[in-house]
């Protein structure tokens, strides 16, 4: 289904009478799918992402303190 959707978006040529509303719906569906994938990834990896994010925040904080 995703391959068919992407093929339809890529193969569309100007001058074929493409309806702009249909294109907007296709892009909205594609963005929605990307959002669902990102939410699923963050949900599955959420616990594993906490420690690296905290480490980066502490490192950035230390750099900010050294710069002032």
Query: pLDDT by residue for the chain (68 residues), tens digit each?
Result: 666 766 776 666 655 555 667 788 889 999 999 999 999 988 887 767 677 778 888 888 888 777 65
**Burial class of residue 26, CB neighbours in 10 A (0-12, 13-18, 19+):** middle
Of the candidates 18, 35, 34, 32, the one whose C-alpha atom is nearest the C-alpha of residue 10 is 18
This model's pTM is above 0.85: no
């Amino acid at each position: 289904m995703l391959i068919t959707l992407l093929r339809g978006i890529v193969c569309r040529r100007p001058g074929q009478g493409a309806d702009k509303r249909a294109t907007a719906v296709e892009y909205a569906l594609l963005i929605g799918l990307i959002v669902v994938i990102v939410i699923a990834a963050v949900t599955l990896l959420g616990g594993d992402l906490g420690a690296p994010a905290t480490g980066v925040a502490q490192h950035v904080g230390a750099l900010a303190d050294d710069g002032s």
